[in-house]
Amino acid sequence: MSWVVEEWKEGLSTRVLQKIHDLESQVEKFKKERQQRQFQLESLEAALEKQKQKVVKEKNEGATLKRENQNLMELCDNLEKNRQKLFHELQMKESEINFQEGQLISSRKQVESLEQGLKRYKSELERQPKTFGSGNTSFENTPQRINTGSPTAIYNELRCRIQELENKLQIQTQDVKANVMKLQDTHLQVENMQMELTEKEKTLNKATNEIIKIRIQLNQTTDQILTTKQQFEKNAKDYAQKLSQLEQALQTMQLKEKELKENYEEIKKQNNFLSCQSAEHLQEISQLKEGLCSTKLSLQQSQHFAEDLKSKPGGFYCA
Please check whether residue 13 is in contact with residue 243, taking contact to mean a CB–CB distance below 8 angstroms: no
Amino acid 141: pLDDT = 41
pLDDT digits (tens, 9 = 90+) for 223-262: 777 787 787 778 778 777 877 777 787 787 778 778 777 8
Rg of the chain on CA atoms, in Å? 67
Amino acid 11: pLDDT = 66
Please check whether residue 235 is in contact with residue 55, taking contact to mean a CB–CB distance below 8 angstroms: no
Which among 160, 159, 128, 132 has a CA at the least distance from the CA of 141?
128
Q: Residue 95 pLDDT more than 50?
A: yes
Give me the half-sphere count of Cα atoms (radius 13 Å) on the Cβ side of residue 75.
Answer: 17
Q: Residue 158 contacts by C-beta under 8 Å, 6 or more apart in sequence?
A: 121, 124, 125, 128
Residue 239 to residue 43: CA distance in whole angstroms: 10
177-188 average pLDDT score: 80
Q: Residue 6: how many CB atoms within 10 A of its CB?
A: 8
Its sign, for the CA torsion 149, 154, 156, 160, is positive
pLDDT band, very low/low/confident/very high, at 9 (cuts 50, 70, 90): low
pLDDT digits (tens, 9 = 90+) for 77-93: 887 787 788 778 778 87
Q: Residue 193 pLDDT more than 50?
A: yes
What does each C-alpha distance from 270 to 130, 249, 260, 277, 285 come to in angstroms? 168, 31, 15, 10, 22
Amino acid 17: pLDDT = 76
Residue 315 to residue 317: CA distance in whole angstroms: 6
pLDDT digits (tens, 9 = 90+) for 99-140: 877 877 887 787 787 778 778 777 776 776 555 444 444 333
Amino acid 136: pLDDT = 43
